[in-house]
Structure 1
Amino acid sequence: MGGISGTIGAAAGMFAGTNIDDIIVLTVLFLSWRASARPRPWQIWAGQYAGIAVLVLVSVVAALGLAIVPDDWVGLLGVVPFALGVKVLVSALRARGDGGDASPVVASGMASVAGVTIANGADNISVYTPVFRAIGTGPTLVTIAVFAIGVAVWCVAASWLGSHKKIIDVIERYGHWLVPAVFMTIGSLIVIESGVLTKIF
């Protein structure tokens, strides 16, 4: 891999490539915090770190030859963000019907943020596992360290995106439709692209 610099470069590229959709999710979460004070920033950060840690741990275990969840069934995790999106949509419709606050709250705490992160990144396991198996212990530890830095960069970038007035204005006006649509779309794509539906039906 060209030494430690090659390992770092490959790890950074792998993290960015497999987690680019997390920028959208995290931005929505930070916008949700600004609109409704939930989830709090520390919960978003902690949930993101916890979720990525679980994905990495599962990948390392799988790389050691111990399959926890068969790859064919990982796509079922897409139900998590889809269900959260439906929950937000139903809550928003009820609030609008009652004339109350329809602020989009996708996740209310660290655990739900971690759940979304795990579901959204479940397909990453199929990428990380063969890489961890191939590169050995030392480069794997370097890769995990790069991932930890990547999570911080992603959270900072999403917080910055979520602080722009134009984006906040759009979310305040259309958030009750946009936020659940984003999560329902992500959940649907995870399920469809995994091929789990053909396995079931």
Structure 2
Amino acid sequence: MNLGIIGQAVGLFAVTNIDDVLVLALFFAQGAGRKGSTRTICMGQYLGFAAILAVAGAAAFGATFLPGYAIPYLGLLPLALGIKAAVQAWQHRNDPEEERAAKAGGPKVLEVAMVTFANGGDNIGVYVPVFATAGIGGMTVYAIVFLALVGVWIAAGRHLATHPVITRTLSRWGHILLPVVLIGIGLLILIRGGAFGL
């Protein structure tokens, strides 16, 4: 494997996915103490990122399943999930912390995948020209490196969520932070992409 391409892939992944670590930490905080939540988050993250790679790879070869004008509207996915989480947090605002956590439930595979895919909409725009110029061999190296780094990002998000100071903060404020972050990501995607003429 070409070390130059591997280095470029590592840099490209880090720059385009830095915000995912915070989102993953929030998902891990939401799933804390729930059996199978780590597996659920991993599956969702890999599913969402595989969809990003599939769309970017197809677009690099001229097949556009997702027209460019539609990408900003992916912001509606985390926005809707954030609003749903905010409504649930509001409905259970007076519940004791343990009871509120039990009612909230853990993250779902498709929710994690949708947030990952929507948050990666801008990644698609960056990956397409890189994949198109790298050819099949180079694109394969990028995909392998990216998928390996998804695992690193998952581990970093989990570590962040289990750090004592952060754990206390997320256990106390996570039910508020998750909707705020999801709504913020959704609005940012919509606004940056000029959806609805914003």
Question: Normalising by the residue count of structure 2, what TM-score does the alignment of the two structures yield?
Answer: 0.92
Structure 2: how far apart are the matches of 1:172 and 1:23? 17
Q: Structure 1 residues 66, 131: CA separation in 2 closer, same or farther (over 3 Å shift)?
A: same
Matched, 1:83 2:80: yes
User: Could you give the per-residue CA deviations for residues 62-88 of structure 1, whole angstroms, max 9, x where no partner exists?
Assistant: 011111122122111111111111111
**Partner residue in 2 for 1:158:** 157
For the Cα contact (< 8 Å) 1:79–1:191, is it kept in 2? yes
Q: Determine the structure 1 residue equivalent to 2:124.
A: 125
Structure 2 unaligned blocks of 5 or more? none
Deviation at 1:97, TM superposition (A): 4.3
* 1:29–1:39 CA contact under 8 A, matched in 2: no
CA distance in 1, matches of 2:40, 2:173: 24
Match of 2:176 in 1: 177
Paired letter, 1:73:
A
For 2:158 and 2:10, locate their aligned partners in 1 and report how far apart those are by CA, in whole Å: 20
Counterpart amino acid of residue 61 in structure 1? A
Q: Measured at CA, do residues 10 and 109 of structure 1 come closer, stay the same or move farther in structure 2, by a change above 3 Å?
A: same
Question: Pairwise mapping of residues 1-201 of structure 1 onto structure 2 (< 5 A)?
Answer: 4-34=2-32, 37=34, 40-97=37-94, 101-103=99-101, 105=104, 108-198=107-197
- Structure 1 gap ranges (5+): none
* Number of equivalenced pairs: 196
Whether contact under 8 Å (2:75, 2:190) holds in the other structure is: yes
Q: Secondary structure of the residue that 1:69 maps to in structure 2?
A: coil
The alignment's C-alpha RMSD in Å is: 2.0
TM-score by length of 1: 0.90
